[in-house]
Structure 1
Amino acid sequence: MLLNILGPKNFFTRFSSSTKLLSVSVQRCWNSTASSAETVDLAYASYESTSDSENSSQPPLVILHGLLGSKNNWNSMSKAIHRTTGRKVISVDARNHGDSRHSPQHTYVHMAHDVMRLLKKLELSKVSLLGHSMGGRTAMVLSLLCSDLVASLIVVDISPAKTSPQIFSMATLFDAMTAVSIRPGIAMSKARKLADDQLKSFTPDINLRNFLITNLVQTNAGSFTWRVNIPALKDNFQNHISSFPSNLKGLQYCGPTLFVGGSLSDYIGKNDLPEIQEYFPLADLIFIEGAGHWVHSQKPEKFLEIVSKFLTEK
């Protein structure tokens, strides 16, 4: 397996000879939508094989993470999906996250256009999309705006039909992260411990705290900061992140679509399917027992089985 990790200034890497050139229809799609949102360069990691067993005839799978996540959260699962299906997997950092560019704008339309820009630069005419939470909504919006780009769609524990009440607690987390104060020049391990101690007063959930602390980074000067753009996320959260865009009603993506929810999560419900199918007529909805919102990390084996089966059959 070959893993390429690329920042926003270094998009081009080795691609197999089977990579399709940008089609006329995709170029037209880009031209017709690019002016509606200012895009930023995205960092990504590419998982691909040099062996003859690679399923190079199938479109790559592009993975889009959730709010306050990064491509690194999907490292193990990306490798597993590639190993199981043979598909190239491209895991992407959203704007204001990970190693991607920061921007004061953070809407699903902007994020969908960012991904379009990346696919255009990589000369990919068709991809499958997998998105979790915020990334799931980005994947949905991209599929609705530019269906010619999307061979199939997998949405993980998020819905266009409802918003979980839990999501509004994120505003508190933004404030908690902003309030963390760590003196410069100490070891990263100690800084993480200090950050965890300060976040305990805001959330007792150690798994959530560990997830947030993956965003803690040390600058060249030795100070500590968050790599996510908290001010932009906080400013855009209520109006642009917490709910699905209402102005996309009437649009449809009619390709193969799978929604995967956690049985313990309230981000998506069984009663959501009719409204989901208004946007995605071919959508199926599967729940993984015992999983909450982070389905892929809480039940990785079952998640891999379901996703790999869908990608193999569709």
Structure 2
Amino acid sequence: MDVRNHGESPEAPEMSFESMVADIKLFIQNLNLNKSILMGHSLGAGIMISTALKYPSLVEKIVVIEANPVESSPSLIKMGENVNNLSVVNFQGLRTLDEARKHADISLRHLILSPVVRERFTGIIKEVSPGKFAWANNFPVIARDMKKNVIDFMTEQLIADLKKKPFTKPALFIGGSQSDFFEIRHYAEIREIFPRAEFAIIEGGNHWVHLKKPAEVLKIVSEFIN
């Protein structure tokens, strides 16, 4: 499923972990699922971590891709800055989706230096109606709430509280070797919150490891689930 304010999910006035965890709980209950295997990437993974810790009875296992519950990485902080930069793109006067994506890439080159990151952002431009283009995600709300509700969410006090009520069921953490969102140095502290955690760092993978190394991710996840 798409997180609120992302993709095909509805726009919402706030982006807090509390509200997004409530979304997941409602989704599980609406489907009458007794037990679920939760899997998410980046922000989605953070939401799944929070859901598993708050509602462990609803969760059988959890798969976390490119996120960790103990530290906000420098790249996550930079991602927040990048989201704020998207407002510089003006889609007026463009005729095709390809033209809109190329225009956005050029507009953002001096602000977002990584071609890989720019490609991920320009890939979520959509054609709202013929000749009218926009971001598929509700970036004004995401940009407003990201630092307070996402980047600064994991306070030292909250991490200490989580360690008092660990998630004792199976958990799998996957990262890319070229990313700092989840690294080997996080293993020990993660196990204080997820004592049955397994870890996998995929060589050559970046933050979007599931897209760059899909076969490797699928194999690891399938073996864990089964």
Same fold by TM-score greater than 0.5: yes
Following TM superposition, by how much is the alpha carbon of 1:244 offset from its aligned partner in structure 2, in angstroms? 4.6
- For residues 60-81 of structure 1, the C-alpha deviation after alignment (integer angstroms, 9 at most, x for no partner) is xxxxxxxxxxxxxxxxxxxxxx
Aligned partner of 2:165 in structure 1 is 251
One of 95, 111, 114 as aligned partner of 2:23:
114
SS of the residue aligned with 1:153? Answer: strand
Moved over 4 A (4+): none
Q: How does 1:26-45 map to 2 (within 5 A)?
A: none
For the 8 Å contact 1:108–1:245, the answer to whether it is kept is: no
Opposite residue 190 of structure 2, the aligned amino acid is I
Q: Which has the higher helix share?
A: 2
TM-score of the pair, normalised by structure 1: 0.66
- For residues 139-178 of structure 1, the C-alpha deviation after alignment (integer angstroms, 9 at most, x for no partner) is 1100001111111111112111111112122233223211
For the 8 Å contact 2:125–2:135, the answer to whether it is kept is: yes
* Aligned: 1:277 with 2:199: no
- For residues 94-125 of structure 1, the C-alpha deviation after alignment (integer angstroms, 9 at most, x for no partner) is 01101112222212221111011111112222
For the 8 Å contact 1:157–1:262, the answer to whether it is kept is: yes
Change in CA separation of 1:271 and 1:207 when aligned onto 2, cut-off 3 Å: closer
Moved more, 265-274 or 133-142: 265-274
One of 246, 266, 270 as aligned partner of 2:180:
266
Opposite residue 112 of structure 1, the aligned amino acid is V
One of 225, 230, 233 as aligned partner of 2:134:
225
For the 8 Å contact 1:137–1:244, the answer to whether it is kept is: no
TM-score of the pair, normalised by structure 2: 0.90
One of 106, 124, 146 as aligned partner of 2:33:
124
- Tell which structure's C-alpha radius of gyration is larger: 1
Q: Unaligned regions of 5+ residues in structure 1, if any? A: 1-91
| Whole-Å separation in 2 of the counterparts to 1:207 and 1:266 | 15
Opposite residue 303 of structure 1, the aligned amino acid is V
SS of the residue aligned with 1:287? Answer: strand
Opposite residue 294 of structure 1, the aligned amino acid is W
Aligned partner of 2:9 in structure 1 is 100
Task: Tell me how large the CA RMSD over aligned residues is.
Answer: 1.7
User: Which of structures 1 and 2 has the larger relative contact order (alpha carbons within 8 angstroms, sep 6+)?
Assistant: 2
Change in CA separation of 1:271 and 1:206 when aligned onto 2, cut-off 3 Å: closer
Query: Alignment identity in percent?
Result: 30
Aligned partner of 2:56 in structure 1 is 147
Change in CA separation of 1:141 and 1:190 when aligned onto 2, cut-off 3 Å: same
